[in-house]
């Protein structure tokens, strides 16, 4: 099983809302990632969690707040977003962090901020 699942598939939220994106994997992977992808651009890394601890934060604004409740789950909490935050949010996982392992991606959440 090489599946990473993400919910919801689509999300429309106002600038004052609070919402969460969820990601789950059951491959026993110890590294999980959040990427943001704007239209016609490559995915850009936001956060890396390894062994359930934040390992990389690519200077993402504090209105994005990641959380890793256990080794299979990764959440992204959203608050006071701006219209320019509208994008496809992709979750990925890989077996480990120390060496370069193959990444597996979920289907993404398409977020629209109104």
Complete DSSP assignment for 66-84: EEEEETTEEEEEEES--GG
Smaller CB distance to other proteins: residue 45 or 80? Answer: 45
Smaller CB distance to other proteins: residue 80 or 88? Answer: 88
Q: What are the E-state strand segments in 30-107? A: 31-37, 44-50, 53-57, 64-70, 73-79, 87-94, 103-105
36: burial class by Cβ within 10 Å (0-12, 13-18, 19+)? buried
Question: Interface with other proteins by CB under 8 A: which residues?
Answer: 2, 31, 33, 37, 40, 42-45, 48, 50, 55-56, 58, 88, 90, 92, 97-105, 107-108, 110
Quote the least distance from Cβ 48 to other proteins, whole Å: 5
Quote the least distance from Cβ 93 to other proteins, whole Å: 12
Smaller CB distance to other proteins: residue 15 or 54? Answer: 54
């Amino acid at each position: 099983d090489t599946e990473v699942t993400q919910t919801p598939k689509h999300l429309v939220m106002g600038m004052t809302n609070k919402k969460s994106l969820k990601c789950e994997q059951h491959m026993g992977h110890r590294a999980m990632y959040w990427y943001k992808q704007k239209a016609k651009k490559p995915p850009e890394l936001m956060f890396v969690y390894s062994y359930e601890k934040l390992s990389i934060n690519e200077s993402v604004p504090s209105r994005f707040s990641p959380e890793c409740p256990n080794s299979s789950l990764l959440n992204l909490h959203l608050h006071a977003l701006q219209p320019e935050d509208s994008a496809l949010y992709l979750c990925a996982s890989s077996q480990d962090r120390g060496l370069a392992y193959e990444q597996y991606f979920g289907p993404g959440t398409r977020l629209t901020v109104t």
